[in-house]
């Protein structure tokens, strides 16, 4: 039932304040003698010691689920102190890459039925790793075969393009980082700030959703483009990949997410006065580097659309010439949850304006159960 919405993708984008609330329900609690806030993930509590002691955490997924894991990687590394490596499920299987008993392998899948992810899971189980699932689907093959895990509880997702599951996956992995890093006094203040940020997320997501009309206007401007680049780095490298994946899969427009740090190692050659480029430059430790990226793209006459923190328009818009998307600020590791939303809206409006099928993009299936 789509209610007042025309498409499931649209409904699922606008549902995110509620889906994120459900994802967090009962999992953020005030506990302990000092009444500090903590995270309780019922599905992981008996395994936290093993995860903390593991030599490495390996994130495995495909498509949007891989991107969600990539967005969470920095905070998991920071709070757990355990090195995190990333694996696209099919590539891990193709390479038969090394997985050891001392590893924790975390499998991320909305459907819990993706063939590549399940094959990678079988492989990791054979190699003796602790296997953790993060899925939206209770009773799925992933939920059944993993040793433990977390249900993201985002509610049923029908549109082929994953939207609300992406933001809920990031929130679950941020909670996983908090739970795994939960015994370190040294990062207590940071953990509290993240928990406050999590509690604030639904209202900030509501605020971002007000950009809907603005994103429709932007889509009108971009309707006939051949291609769209999205530059991001740090926490928002994943946002660039995910924004580009949305535009590609539903609007059927070529789009590429680019790690901004790689700009001079190739992509800069593409920049001219025609090609539209989204640059994600919200406030975090990478902000000044992104400001310099903007200046360099501007110097090559790039057509820039800059996503920045509310109030920062003047510091990102060189010569007042670029289009700006302003988003609210939240703790850095949660910023990807907010930043992806304008790009989801942009992909949605581009699809409608270009006359393509929103919920069933050509050639794609919601759950890829064959290889």
Applying CB under 6 A, which residues contact ligand M6R? 62-65, 109-111, 114, 117, 160-162, 245, 249, 367-368
Is 142 one of the binding residues for ligand UD1 (CB under 6 A)? Answer: yes
In angstroms, the CA 7 to CA 115 distance is 27
Measured in whole angstroms, the distance separating CA 70 from the mean position of its chain's CA atoms is 7
Residue with smallest beta-carbon separation from ligand M6R: 63
- To ligand M6R, the closest distance from the beta carbon of 184 in angstroms equals 31
Q: Which is nearer to ligand M6R, 117 or 282 (CB)?
A: 117
Order of all β-strands in the sheet with 303-309: 254-259, 227-232, 276-281, 303-309, 323-327
- To ligand UD1, the closest distance from the beta carbon of 1 in angstroms equals 23
- To ligand UD1, the closest distance from the beta carbon of 137 in angstroms equals 9
In angstroms, the CA 118 to CA 24 distance is 26
Build a one-symbol-per-residue string for 308-327: x at contacts with ligand UD1 by CB under 6 A, - elsewhere.
--------------------
Angle between helices 237-251 and 335-354 (to 10 degrees): 20
Q: What is the DSSP string of 313-356?
A: HHHHSGGG-SEEEEE----GGGHHHHHHHHHHHHHHHHHHHHT-
Q: Which is nearer to ligand UD1, 131 or 346 (CB)?
A: 131
The Cα diameter of the chain in Å comes to: 60
Token code pair at residue 185: 């006094």
Q: Which is nearer to ligand UD1, 115 or 353 (CB)?
A: 115
Could you tell me which stretch among 122-130, 142-150, 187-195, 329-337 binds ligand UD1 (CB under 6 A)?
142-150
Q: Which is nearer to ligand M6R, 12 or 332 (CB)?
A: 12
Q: How many other β-carbons are positioned within 10 Å of the β-carbon of residue 309?
A: 21
Angle between helices 63-80 and 164-180 (to 10 degrees): 20
Tell me which of ligand M6R, ligand UD1, none is bound by residue 65, counting a contact when its beta carbon lies within the kind-specific cut-off of 5 to 8 angstroms: ligand M6R
Build a one-symbol-per-residue string for 31-70: x at contacts with ligand UD1 by CB under 6 A, - elsewhere.
-----------xx---------------------------
Residues 6+ apart with CB under 8 A from 156: none
Tell me which of ligand UD1, ligand M6R, none is bound by residue 64, counting a contact when its beta carbon lies within the kind-specific cut-off of 5 to 8 angstroms: ligand M6R
- To ligand UD1, the closest distance from the beta carbon of 150 in angstroms equals 4
- To ligand UD1, the closest distance from the beta carbon of 149 in angstroms equals 2
Cβ atoms of 164 and 12 closer than 8 Å:
yes
Tell me which of ligand M6R, ligand UD1, none is bound by residue 151, counting a contact when its beta carbon lies within the kind-specific cut-off of 5 to 8 angstroms: ligand UD1
Is 138 one of the binding residues for ligand UD1 (CB under 6 A)? Answer: yes
59 backbone dihedrals φ, ψ, rounded to 5°: -90, 130
Cβ atoms of 190 and 79 closer than 8 Å:
yes
Secondary structure class of 184 (helix, strand, coil): coil
**H or E element that contains 30:** strand 28-31
- To ligand UD1, the closest distance from the beta carbon of 43 in angstroms equals 3
Burial of 173-194, coded b for 16+ CB within 10 Å and e otherwise, reads bbbbbbbbbbeeeebeebbeeb
Tell me which of ligand M6R, ligand UD1, none is bound by residue 63, counting a contact when its beta carbon lies within the kind-specific cut-off of 5 to 8 angstroms: ligand M6R
Tell me which of ligand UD1, ligand M6R, none is bound by residue 181, counting a contact when its beta carbon lies within the kind-specific cut-off of 5 to 8 angstroms: none
- To ligand UD1, the closest distance from the beta carbon of 26 in angstroms equals 6
Tell me which of ligand M6R, ligand UD1, none is bound by residue 133, counting a contact when its beta carbon lies within the kind-specific cut-off of 5 to 8 angstroms: ligand UD1
Q: Which is nearer to ligand M6R, 111 or 290 (CB)?
A: 111
Is 111 one of the binding residues for ligand UD1 (CB under 6 A)? Answer: no
- To ligand UD1, the closest distance from the beta carbon of 62 in angstroms equals 15
Token code pair at residue 47: 């395994």
* Residues at the interface with ligand UD1 (CB under 6 A): 42-43, 133, 135, 138, 142-143, 146, 148-151
């Amino acid at each position: 039932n789509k209610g007042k919405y025309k498409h499931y993708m649209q409904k699922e984008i606008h549902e995110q304040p509620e889906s994120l609330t459900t994802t967090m329900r009962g999992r953020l609690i005030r506990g302990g003698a000092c009444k500090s806030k903590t995270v309780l993930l019922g599905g992981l509590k008996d395994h936290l010691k093993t995860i903390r002691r593991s030599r490495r955490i390996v994130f495995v997924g495909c498509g949007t689920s891989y991107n969600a894991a990539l967005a969470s990687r920095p905070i998991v590394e920071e709070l757990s102190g355990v090195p995190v490596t990333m694996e696209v499920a099919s590539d891990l299987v193709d390479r038969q890459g090394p997985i050891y008993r001392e590893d924790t392998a975390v499998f991320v899948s909305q459907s819990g039925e993706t063939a590549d992810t399940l094959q990678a899971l079988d492989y990791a189980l054979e190699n003796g790793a602790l296997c953790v699932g993060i899925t939206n689907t209770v009773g799925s093959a992933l939920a059944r075969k993993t040793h433990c895990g977390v249900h993201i509880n985002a509610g049923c997702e029908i549109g082929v393009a994953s939207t609300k599951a992406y933001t809920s996956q990031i929130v679950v992995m941020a909670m996983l980082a908090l739970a795994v890093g939960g015994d370190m006094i040294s990062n207590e203040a940071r953990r509290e700030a993240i928990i406050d940020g999590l509690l604030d997320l639904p209202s900030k997501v509501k605020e971002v959703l007000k950009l809907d009309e603005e994103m429709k206007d932007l889509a009108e401007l971009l309707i006939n483009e051949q291609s769209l680049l999205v530059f991001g780095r740090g926490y928002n490298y994943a946002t660039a990949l995910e924004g580009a994946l949305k535009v590609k899969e539903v609007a059927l427009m070529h789009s590429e997410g680019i790690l901004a740090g790689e700009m001079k190692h190739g992509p800069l050659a593409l920049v001219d006065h025609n090609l539209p480029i989204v640059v994600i430059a919200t406030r975090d430790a990478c902000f000044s580097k992104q400001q310099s990226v903007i200046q360099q793209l501007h110097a090559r006459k790039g057509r820039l659309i800059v996503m920045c923190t509310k109030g920062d328009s003047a510091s990102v818009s060189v010569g007042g010439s670029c289009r700006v998307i302003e988003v609210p600020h939240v703790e850095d590791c949660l910023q990807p949850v907010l930043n992806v939303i304008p790009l989801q809206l942009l992909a949605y409006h581009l699809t409608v304006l270009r006359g393509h099928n929103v919920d069933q993009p050509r050639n794609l299936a919601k759950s890829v159960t064959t290889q």
